[in-house]
């Protein structure tokens, strides 16, 4: 067995990102159940069969797009949390980062219930971690006086 070459790994990662970009667009546009996997594959230059080199099935592809969206929000939360200033400044920075136009398309997590239970649990845990981190920022804002007293 030969090891993969770094360039091959980078090319595979780029193809996967292109697939997740297009799948996110399609899922947001048509929904997971109604998405046309053949069209997703064709838009990124894959055959439908080659799509399965990157995912097991429709549900796994949706899971991957949902988790990627959660990871992107996590990165934005991390960047914002590491800045100086008030907690409200950090929340504003998080929102600005999360809504940047040049970011990869993100799947809206509105069909998590469509996924098998194990995938649902994984996505819900990632989402809950982001919600908790944002809540922690708001709590810090209440303490530092930059956010009015509320239930984060």
Contacts of 1 by beta carbon, 8 Å cutoff, 6+ apart: none
Distance CA 36, CA 22 (A): 11
C-alpha–C-alpha distance, residues 71 and 65, integer Å: 10
Residues 53-95 have pLDDT tens digits of 999 999 999 999 999 999 999 999 999 999 999 999 999 999 9
| pLDDT at res. 41 | 96
How many residues comprise the chain? 152
Average pLDDT over residues 20-36: 95
Structure confidence at residue 5 (pLDDT): 66
- Give φ, ψ of 68 to 5 degrees: -65, -40
Mean of pLDDT values over 113-125 = 96
Q: What share of the chain is helix, strand, coil (3-state, %, to 5)?
A: 70, 0, 30
Name the band, by pLDDT with cuts 50, 70 and 90, for residue 1.
low
């Amino acid at each position: 067995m030969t090891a993969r070459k770094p360039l091959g790994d980078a090319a595979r990662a780029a193809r996967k990102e292109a697939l997740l970009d297009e799948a996110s667009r399609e899922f947001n546009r048509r929904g997971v159940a109604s998405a046309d996997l053949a069209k997703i594959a064709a838009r990124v230059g894959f055959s439908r069969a080659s799509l399965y080199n990157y995912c097991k099935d429709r549900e796994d592809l949706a899971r991957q797009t949902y988790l990627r969206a959660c990871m992107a929000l996590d990165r934005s939360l991390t960047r914002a949390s590491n800045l100086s200033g008030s907690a409200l400044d950090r929340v504003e920075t998080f929102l600005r980062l999360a809504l940047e136009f040049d970011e990869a398309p993100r799947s809206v997590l509105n069909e998590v219930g469509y996924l098998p239970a194990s995938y649902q649990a994984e996505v819900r845990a990632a989402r809950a971690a982001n919600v908790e981190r944002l809540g922690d920022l708001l709590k810090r804002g209440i303490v530092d006086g930059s956010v009015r007293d509320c239930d984060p």
